[in-house]
Each structure stands twice: as C-alpha cells, then as structure tokens.
Homo-oligomer: A and B are copies of this chain.
Amino acid sequence: MSAVPSQPPAANLPRALEALSRLLGDRLSTSASVRGHHSNSVTWLESQPPDAVAFPETTEEVATLVAICAENDVPVIPFGAGTSLEGHVNAPHGGVSVSTARMTRIVAVNADDLDAVVQPGVTRGALNAHLRDLGLFFPIDPGADATIGGMTATRASGTNAVRYGTMKDAVLGLTVVLASGQIMRTGGRARKSSAGYDLTRLMVGSEGTLGVVTEITLRLHGQPEAIAAGVCPFPTLRAACDAAIMAIQSGLPAARIELLDAVQVEACNAYSKLSLKAAPTLFLEFHGTPAGVEEQSARFGEIARDLGGGPFDWATRAEDRSRLWQARHDATWAAAALRRGAKPVPTDVCVPISRLADCVEETVADIAASGLVAPIVGHVGDGNFHCLPLVRPGDAAETAACKAFIARLVSRALAMGGTSTGEHGIGQGKMDWLLPEHGGPALDAMRAIKRALDPKNIMNPGKILVP
C-alpha cells in the first residue's frame, strides 16, 4: 500500500529516454535491478521503481535532463543515498530518478569564512573526512551517512541540532534546476541577507518537488577544542525529559541530548556490548574549552542529581565517546535485533519540549496496549523523538496496526502543539497529515507555490502534496 497508487508511464517516455540516452550514454540505465535499487526500501510503503535512472555529473547536464523531461511530461525524482524514510524516492508516476552518485565533488572549502560548496552527492561522512585536517566540521548528523543533497531536500537534522541547528540553518545558498530546466542560484556566501524572498529556505525541505538541487553552499564550524560525553540514567522518562529542559533553560550549551527509553537501552546493551542500566537514559555531549566542558558536565551532573537521576558518567577520551555515539547511531539496528524477522518502521514527531514527557509517556502506554514492540529514541533537546515499531514484512495485520499506531502518534503530537515530523519529512507517508497540521490556507499557499514553480507537476510528483 502506498499514499499514491502507481500510474501508467507518460506517453512520451520512449522519446524522453531516447534523448536522455543521447545526453548521458551509459549513464542512463533502465535495468530492472538498477531501477529497483532506486525506490523506497524502508517503512511500510510499497517500492515504486522509476522507469529509468540517470547519473548526471554537472548542473548543466541536470538542466538538460530536466528540460527533456519537461518537454515530454516525464517525472523527475532526485535520489541521494536512498536513506530517506517516508518514500521520498519512490516513483508512483514513473519517470526518471536523478541519482547524485556521480556528483560527489567538494567544489570549495573556504576556511576563513567557515563555508564549503559541494555537489549534492557528497555524503556527510565524506565531507567531514575532508574537513578533519582543516580543523573544521559539518555538524548536521541524521545518523545514516546521507548525502548533503538528500539532507537538504528533507530538511534533515539529528543529534547535534540542539546546538548547531538543522539543514535550514546549515545551508547558505543553493544551485537548483527548476522544472523549466532553468538554473537558479539562491542565497550566497554572506552570513546573512535581507535581499528579497528566502528562496533558499523554501527549497530546503521541499523534497525535490520544486527543483533538483545541484550545488549547496554550507555553513561549517570550527572543531571544538574539547569534547565531553557521557550517559546518565533516570528513574522515569519524565525525570530524564525534565533534566533536558532544565539544562536548556539554564543556558547549558549542550551539543547533544539524546533520550533512550529502557527498551532501547536494553537493545543497545545487547547489540553494542554495553552494560548500561536498563532505565530511561540520556546520552549527552558538550563542546567547548577544556575548562568549559568540565564546568558544563559538572553542572549537568547537579541537575540530574536534583531530579533523582545519575550518576552522570562522562569522559573526554575520543575512544569512549566514539563507542557511545556509535551505539546511539546503531540504535535502529539494535532495535531491529530485538525481534528476528521483523523490520523497523522508523517514524518521528516533534512537540514543544514542555510536552515531551507527556507525549513519550502516552506513547509508551499506547505501544504496550497495542502489543507492538517499538523502542523510543529521541533528540530530546528539540522535543523530537523517534519510534521504531518492529513489523514483520508482508504481515497485513501488523502493518495495519503499525499504521494505526503512527496515526495515533501524530494526532497526539499535533494535539500538543507539535508537528507530524521533526526531521524525516512528509514524502508519501505523511501526506494526509499536512492539512490537519497546517490548515487550509497554508496548504493552499503551498499548492499555489508548487503550481507557480512547477506548473506541469513533473518534480517528484506524489510527494508532500497534490497540487
């Protein structure tokens, strides 16, 4: 089942493929296996492969490609690492996937200005490897080794967002191929600007429905001089959430505050060979000077103690920190290992932080009542948390139960003043929630913008909204 049923291919598809083949040669593939690899592989959504996959190398090639597709009413679906979670890369109307696998050039790094220009296929891992020796780093960290293009498209964030923001904050400027095949440049290298409409932020998070991003100017940060990281158990989920709130309110500039419920802690113990107490737990990280991170760690320890939590066990050694964060990043796989033969269906919501404890507690009760296995991990500093229901593929009853659970989860978050997704995006999976979340006038405005910039609806159709 998918949000948008598959459609017959465009009548002009053969003509388009012929022209694309002339443009790209063997960098256009229509093989079943390549097409299969370029469709949704996560969540309960059915895979819907494209008619062909293109591997352009330059902005100009993408522009020609889109112009050919526009002329022939053929959909264009941008594809990065394929790690998105709501069916963003499915092709319900067929069309051409534009893989960025050959657009992996780091075009420029401007160390003095703390910025870099990259092609969209660069992964965050590759970028950070390149930056390491320059004393710089790119903080946005959604867990998977996603591409910068994909992260831009979904407005990704992750564990560092509480300190460094999300892709909305990290992107300074873009090169975008529009539905007309025109090449648009937005933003620039200045740190801030009041010159006209903020097209950069409009494109960030538009999931390829307004254009194909072909170059990204990113804001970088200097590597912190010292890093401290640690774990802190709490008697209840509420006490853990309250500790996070107090830390933020008191201005403690935590770089990461991650919540794991007891189920997830046990999963991580088993999978990552840790021996943490099976209790609601915060993973924290502080960045600063050596004296600064020591002071921050001590202060957080006091906050935890006041709430009945602790001890806060922290370290500044790189090996200890790596082991901890590797375990956090492996949380999805650790969760999956809890139930043999089942697949995790990651979903996320985000609420005002004062409602986080309520939302998590109600969700835990909901999980227990519905008989699902669904560990919880959260970017608690942002009020954003993930559930990982473990569902047996092909089991219709379980899939239905999982979908019903997600619907209740989103309703709960919206009722608390939150959002249907903090960082995964709408894709196909959450299209039905856009109206309840934003209301008619905002949805109408989004539709009007989509029609204005993509009148033929060829840019990733069937995602976010129906224009």
Residues of A within 8 A of B (CB): 110-115, 135, 154-157, 161, 165-166, 168-169, 178, 182-186, 188-199, 201-202, 204-206, 210, 221-225, 245, 248-251, 253, 287-289, 291-292, 295, 350-354, 382-384, 417-426, 430, 433-434, 437-439, 441-446, 448-453, 464-465
Contacts and interface: CB of A to CB of B under 8 A. Distances in A.
A195 B420 contact: yes
A67 B282 CA distance: 51
Nearest to A350: B190
A222 B252 CA distance: 9
A417 B190 contact: yes
6 contacts: A114-B249, A155-B194, A189-B352, A190-B351, A192-B384, A196-B434
Contacts of A191: 350, 352-353, 382-384, 422
B193 A110 contact: no
A203 B47 CA distance: 36
A421 B194 contact: yes
Given A193-B419, A292-B292, 6 more contacts: A189-B417, A190-B350, A192-B422, A197-B450, A224-B251, A225-B251
Given A195-B421, A419-B195, A451-B452, A441 B352 contact: no
Nearest to A225: B251
Which residue, A156, A249, A439, has most C-beta atoms of chain B within 10 A?
A249
Contacts of A451: 452
Contact of A114 (B194, B201, B248, B417): B248
Which residue, A113, A382, A384, has most C-beta atoms of chain B within 10 A?
A113
Given A205-B194, A251-B224, A199 B424 contact: no
A155 B196 CA distance: 10
A184 B445 contact: yes
Contact of A197 (B161, B194, B206, B384): B206
A406 B177 CA distance: 33
A165 B199 CA distance: 18
Given A112-B354, A113-B352, A453 B442 contact: no
B202 A198 contact: yes
Which residue, A201, A287, A441, A445, has most C-beta atoms of chain B within 10 A?
A445
Given A185-B441, A191-B350, A352-B190, A168 B419 contact: no
